[in-house]
Structures are given as structure tokens and as C-alpha cells.
Structure 1
């Protein structure tokens, strides 16, 4: 029986970006399905006591930059520590990923491309032409996906998945659940892989 990973993340999360390719690799090695579930950062923070990076104490902000640089080197992925378009509204980007999931697209590839656009390309993932271009570059029908991304079904899926995540104990990004066991942070992907290997 195929294993699965429930993958909850914020569309503007640098750590989700840094873990995305490794998650894809792990899923491929273990023939696991990745259930791609973008969630609303503001709602998760409001309901679980999270604080946006800019509002954190300076030592926490400084250490976050150290970790981002460290994991950028470890994963071999470029990163801009303070990108021009961060933070931005994530409704459109999340809606596009939910729409890709609903229409048989490749939500994991699209999610990675959008995260990379923010954190490596300094592009605005709240901008419709930008999101459309990224969608097309990942093999999606840009016009169709953009219509669906802003539609009621995709935005309702975004809200529903956010509530589902909170109800399951999610309070940060990225967050992985394998057979009921939670793992917070892309630095826990080794444990995700061990969990998959058990089966």
C-alpha cells in the first residue's frame, strides 16, 4: 500500500522552500504520495501564538538568518534573506496550488516554483501575471489555473485546509504528518524518511 505525507506549509515560508526538493526526493525514493496543503500563515499564527519574523526579538531574527544561510548551503539552493516581496498576501499563490491539486496538475512542482520565486528570484507571488507565468513554466494552463485560483472552490479549500491544519496541531511551516506522526520543520525531513522506511 502506498504511503502518504500530509504537507502543510505557508506559501511565503523560506523553510518550506528549502525543504521542498528534499521532500520530493524522499517521496520518490519511498513511493509516497505527497498531499500538498498550503495554509494561511496569519490564521495559523493568530490561533497558535505564532509571531511574524519582523515582530520577533532581535536575537530570534538574527538566528533565523543564520539558519537560512546554513540550510541554503546544505540544500544547495540559493536564497535571499530579505527578499523585496516579503511578506505579501498569499491567497493567490495558495489558491493556485489548491487549484492545481483539484484539476490534476502538479501542485508540488508549482508550490516549489512559487516558493523559489519569492526566496531566490525576488518575485511577487501575490501578482497575477507573475503567478500565471510560473504556472505556465511548470506545465499548467496559466489562464485556466488563474481563473480557478481566485474562484470559490480553491479559496474555500485554502480556508478548509487551514482549519484542518490547526485542528491537527500545526503551528509552523513546513509541517509533515506521516501516519498520524507530526514533524515540524524541514530539518526534520530525516525523521520523515525514517518513518517512511519503517513500512
Structure 2
């Protein structure tokens, strides 16, 4: 039986950025297949009680910045905790990741997801801009314009909608969210537990 981890993510999430490369490395180390599922975090929030950043209480917004700084320093990852292009809609980037998976497979999708997150959080690039997304795809070795065009098709939208529905059904309420053997783990700070779950597969 294949060892699989479902990976629900929103590509604009700073916490997903902080955990992405470590998660991919852990999955590879333990021979676990990743089922990457970009989803619409706004719709997930609507049914799970989450609030977009701008609507959160000031003390929560302030502490978020403290934690982002702590984690980026601890992990030694470059990060602009208040990037120029954020908040930014995640839909176009999420659909590009899905289009990449459909055309080139999971490894390519994981790679472009990492590049998209770095673009927001380390490179001050606008992932809501189509030309920027096409450039990122090109940098990852793909035909950026062709991949972007396919990301706008009905079939990709259907996958995006399906992943969002699956996230809601799985009681997801944040990003990143990992599901191992039917059990959910929220946040990059739960990767130690995710690895323990991998070891039991």
C-alpha cells in the first residue's frame, strides 16, 4: 500500500512557505507520496470561523509578526514579514500549481509551489500578477505562458473547487494542513508530529 500525505495549502500563506521545503524533504526521506491540494483559504475560513488578516484583532496581528520573525530566524530562511505584495489573492497561483501537477506531475508542482512562496515572502514579487506567475514557471523550467493558459481552464478550476470542498470536508481551517493516515496536522510547527506519523506508515 502506498504511503501518502495529503497536503492542503494556500500559496500566499507565510506559514506554508516556512514549512514547505522541510515538508518536501521529510516526505522524500520517508518515501511518502505527496498529494498536493491547493485550496481556497477564503472559503475554508468562511465555514471554519477563520478571519482574513485585516479583520483580526490588533494584538493577534502584532503577535503574528513576532512569530514570523522568530520562525524565519530560527529556520534561517529569508523572509520579509511585511512584504510589498501582501495581502494577495492566492487563486491564480493555486491554479498554476494545479496546472503544473496535471501537466508535469507532483514533483514539478511542489517545486513551483516553493518558488511561488519564495516570490511573495523573500523576493518582493506579486503572485497576483499573471506575467510574474508566467516568469516563475519559466524559471522552474516550464513554458510559462502555456502553463498559465492551462491554469485558466475549466478543468483546473474544477480541481481547485474539488480540493477546496475536500479541505472543508476534512475539517481543514488553516494552511499548511497535512493529513497522514486520516489524521490532520495544522501548521509548519507540527512537522515533528507529521514525521512521527510517517514513521508509522
Q: Same fold (TM over 0.5)?
A: yes
1:110 corresponding residue in structure 2: 112
Give the CA deviation at 1:81: 1.1
What is the rounded CA distance, in whole Å, between the counterparts of 1:138 and 1:168 in structure 2? 31
1:161 corresponding residue in structure 2: 163
What is the rounded CA distance, in whole Å, between the counterparts of 1:122 and 1:33 in structure 2? 31
- The aligned runs of 1:78-117 (5 Å cut-off) are 78-105=78-105, 106-117=108-119
1:137 corresponding residue in structure 2: 139
**TM-score scaled to structure 2, two decimals?**
0.95
What is the rounded CA distance, in whole Å, between the counterparts of 1:78 and 1:146 in structure 2? 27
Deviating beyond 2 angstroms after TM superposition, the runs of 4 or more aligned structure 1 residues are none
RMSD, aligned α-carbons: 1.1
**TM-score scaled to structure 1, two decimals?**
0.96
**How many residues align structurally?**
199
1:81-101 Cα deviation digits (max 9, x unpaired): 111111122221111000011
Query: Is 1:37 aligned to residue 37 of structure 2?
Result: yes
Query: Is 1:73 aligned to residue 83 of structure 2?
Result: no
Gaps of 5+ in 2: none
Checking the alignment, whether the CA contact within 8 Å between 1:2 and 1:31 is kept in structure 2 is: no
1:140-159 Cα deviation digits (max 9, x unpaired): 22122111111111111111
1:92-115 Cα deviation digits (max 9, x unpaired): 111100001111241111111101
Query: Is 1:172 aligned to residue 174 of structure 2?
Result: yes
SS of corresponding position for 2:115: helix
Gaps of 5+ in 1: none
What is the rounded CA distance, in whole Å, between the counterparts of 2:153 and 2:84 in structure 1? 28
What is the rounded CA distance, in whole Å, between the counterparts of 2:70 and 2:44 in structure 1? 26
